[in-house]
Amino acid sequence: MPRQAPAAGPPLGEWLRTPRPEAEPGVWRYGHRPKPPEDPDRLDDRQLLGGAALALLGALLTWSLIYNEYLPAFRLLYGIWPASWAAGGGSQFWAAVFNYICIYGVVVAVLVLVFGTIGRWREVWRRYVRERFGAPSGQTPEVPPAQSDPAADPGLWPQLRAAGEHAAADRLTAEIRQGRMNDVDYVRLDRAWQTARSRPDRLPAFSEAILARGAAAFTHPSGDRDLPARAARHDLLTGQVRLGSVPDEERNPYAYRGAWLALEPALLSTSLLVVGPSAAGKTSRVVRPAVESLALQALAGRAAVVAVGAAGAGLGPDEAYDVVIRLGDPGSAHDLDLYGGADDPDEAAAVLAEALVGDALGGAGAGGAFGMPGGEADTRRAATALAQLIGPYRAAHGRFPSVPELRELLDGVPVALAALRQACEAAGDGAALRELDARERQAGRPGDPGPLLADRIALLDRPAFAGFFRTGAPGEAAGPGGPARPGRPFAMRDLEHPLRVRIDLPERGHAEASRLLARLLLAQFTTCAQDRDRRSLFACLVLDDAAHTLTPASVRAVQRLRTANAGVVLALRSLDEVPEPLRAAAVGAVGCRVALSGLSTWDGEVFARAWGRDWVETEDVTHNPDVSGGPLRRAVRAVRTLFTGVRATTRSVTVRTVQRERWSASDLAHKVPPGHAVVSLTTFRGEASPPVLTRLGG
C-alpha cells in the first residue's frame, strides 16, 4: 500500500483541499497565509512594550483613585440608588449589589478602552501572543471542511466529471477515500488526463485504464509510485520542496518574514548555484532536497533528473533511481555513453573537446593550452582535430571510437591510422579520406592539439575504467581485452523520458578524471537539453561538486537553458574552484543563488556585487562643543571638564537616504549564523526575490 501524501502529513483529500495562494518567488505556498501590508508607523518592541506598561500603570492608578473615592466626580455615581438599599436587606440588598457590579463594570470597561487604546494593547496581543503561539505560515494549516460542491473539491475530480467521464471520476474518488492513492498518483493521473484531453481519440483508452487499474494506472516505467523515503517536505501540486524558514528579522524583506522558502522547477529552470565550505549543508540541506523533488516529479511524469556526485555523497539510495552508474566500479550494472548519444561527428567532437580542454583558459594563464591567445580558440582547434578522426572512424565502422582506440589515433600510432585509412578506402568515403589527410598534415606541427588531447583522454584509459564508455552494440566489449557490459549505455539524449539517473564519479585516485567527466556531462546536458523534442518535460542536471567544470562555453550555455525548460544545480565549496575570469559571469549566469555560512570575504564580494545595492535611511550623529549660555553656565561646564576630562558637547542627527549593499562581503562572511544561508531566487518569467536570510531545514 503506498504511503499517503505528503509523507507524515494529512490524508490526501485534506491535502488537496488545502489552499495554495499566489505568493512571492520561493515562498512555500501550501497553506500560506499572506501577511497584511507593511505598516510604516510600526513601533519597535521597546516602544510598544514600554507604552503598554505605562498605560497599564496609569489604568491601575486611576482605578485605585476611583475605588478609594479620591475622585469627587465619581462619588456622584453612588447617588444613583437610595441609601436604604445598601443598608436594607432582602431584595434591596441584592439590588444594591447589582448596581455596584454594573457601575464598576462600566468604569472598568471605560478604563480598558481608554488606556488600552493609548497603550496599544491590541497590537501587543497580536504581535506577541497570536503571532508567536498561533500556527505560523507553512506548518500544517487548518484544512477547510469537505466541499459539498463537486466542482470545487479537487478530490472529486471535477475536471473528469465536466467532460462526462463520471465512471472514471467515481473510481478515482473511491481510491482517494480508501487510501489507495498518494500525491504522486494524483499528479501523475492529472497529467495523463491533461494529455488525453488534448487528444480526444485517447479518451476511451484513458477511461479504460482508470477503470481497470485505478490509482495504479499510467505508472512510471519503473513501476514505482513513490520514493523509498523522503528526507524533505514536498508539495507536488505546486512542484515545491521546502528548503527552510525565514527568520523574522529586519534584514529580511517584510513579505518573507516568518514564511517558509521553497524550490520548484520554475526557479530551477534559471539554474541554481550553491556555494559554501564543507559541512555547511550544501548536499544535505539544499542539493538532496532538490534531487528528491525532481525524482518525485519524474515518477509523476513531469521531470527528468541526472544527479552527479562522488560515491557516497548522500544523493539518495539506489532504489530511488532508474539508472545508477558507478564509473570505475566493476560491479556497475550501467555504462555511460562517452559521446552523449550524438549522431553528428562534429557535435560529438565539440562536446568532447569542451570536456578535454575547455578548462584551459588561455587568457588567464600562460597563453593557453596550445600557446594560443585564448582558451576558446584552443577548444575550437581541439574540436577540429577530434572531428578529423572520429568522423572517418564512424564512416568506416558505423560507430564512434572507444577510449583506447581514440587515444591511439590522437597519439598518431601508425598502425591505427593505417587501419583507419584502409577501412575508409574500403568504404569508398572520399570525404573521410580528406579529413584523415588534413589530420596527418597538422600532426607534428607546433601547437598541434593531438598530443594534449591524447594525454587528456589517457585519464579515462585506465584499468579502473576498463569496460566503461562502450560505443559498440550491447554485449560487445568496450575495447581490446575490456569486459562487456549489458544493455545500452545511458546517454543524455535519453532525457526525452522521465528518467532518474545517478552517476557516481571516482574521487579517490582519479580526481582529474572525475573533473573531466563532470565537464563532459555538463557539456552533453547543455547540448542535449536544447535539442529535445519533448520540452514539456523539465530536465535538470545536478552536480554535487562542480569544481573546475565551468568553462566560457558552458557558462553561456547555462544562460540559454531557461528557454528549453531545463536547468542545472551547481554546488561549490568556494568560487576559487572557478577560473577567476569566470567567477562574476558564473554567478550572473544563474537566477538562483545560495551563499551558505562560512563563506570567505573574497567569495562574498562576488555575491555582494551580484545582489547590488538598495536605498536605505541612515542617521549621521555629530557632536560639537557646547558654547551656549552665559558666563555662569560656561564656568560650570569648564569646572566639570576640569574634573571629568570630558568636554560638554551638543548632539545633532542628520537623516539621509543612501544606497548600500544589501549584503556586504563582510556580512556574508561573518554575520550568517551556522545552519543558515542567504538565498535569492528568480523565476523563468523574470520575477526575482531579494536576498533572504534563511534557516536551512526549517
What are the pLDDT digits (tens) for 459-510?
A: 999 988 888 888 865 445 444 444 555 557 899 999 989 999 999 998 777 8
Cell numbers linked to 697:
531545514
Maximum Cα interatomic distance, the chain, rounded to a whole number of Å: 133
Report helix angle 375-397 to 414-427, nearest 10.
60
Find where cell 557490459 sits. Answer: 485
Contact between 274 and 286 under an 8 Å Cβ cutoff? The reply is yes
Distance CA 292, CA 118 (A): 53
Domain boundaries, the chain: 45-133, 342-467, 613-679+688-696
Cα distance between residue 568 and residue 562, in whole Å: 10
Q: What letter would DSSP give residue 68?
A: T
Dihedral angle, C-alpha 547, 552, 556, 558, nearest 10 °: -10
User: What cell was used for 531?
Assistant: 535539442
| The residue to which cell 488545502 is assigned | 18
C-alpha span between 132 and 319 (Å, rounded): 41
pLDDT for res 633: 82
Sign of CA dihedral 686, 567, 27, 593: negative
Instruction: Give the cell for residue 328.
Output: 570505475
Q: How many other β-carbons are positioned within 10 Å of the β-carbon of residue 641?
A: 12
Rounded Cα distance, 328 and 313, in Å:
16
Task: In whole angstroms, give the CA distance from residue 409 to residue 655.
Answer: 73
**Kind of pairing, strands 566-572 and 676-680?**
unpaired
* Interatomic CA distance for residues 200 and 177, integer angstroms: 29
Contact status, residue 516 vs residue 469, Cβ threshold 8 Å: no
- At 367 the pLDDT is 39
| Cα–Cα distance for residue pair 241/650, rounded to 1 Å | 56
What gap in Å lies between CA 456 and CA 344, rounded to an integer?
Answer: 22
Give CA–CA dist 46/39, Å, rounded: 17
Residue 481 confidence (pLDDT): 42
CA distances from 406 to 303, 573, 600 (A): 35, 34, 42
Residue 368's pLDDT is 47
pLDDT score, position 153: 85
Cα gap 522→546, rounded to integer Å = 9
Residues lower than pLDDT 70 in the chain: 1-9, 39-41, 72-100, 131-138, 140-151, 360-376, 472-487, 698
Q: What are phi and psi of 222, to 5 degrees?
A: -75, -15
**What pLDDT shows up at residue 647?**
79
- Terminal-to-terminal C-alpha distance of the chain: 29
CA dihedral 321, 326, 331, 333 (to 10 degrees): 50
Could you tell me the pTM of the whole model?
A: 0.82
Reply yes or no: is the peptide bond before residue 6 cis, omega within 30 of 0.
Answer: yes
State the cell numbers at 604.
562574498
| Three-class DSSP labels, 504-556 | EECCCCCHHHHHHHHHHHHHHHHHHHHCCCCCCCEEEEEECCCCCCCCHHHHH
Q: Report the C-alpha gap between 355 and 127 in whole angstroms.
A: 56
**DSSP per residue, 579-639:** -GGGHHHHHHH-SEEEEETT--HHHHHHHHHHH-EEEEEEEEEEEEE---S-HHHHHHHHH
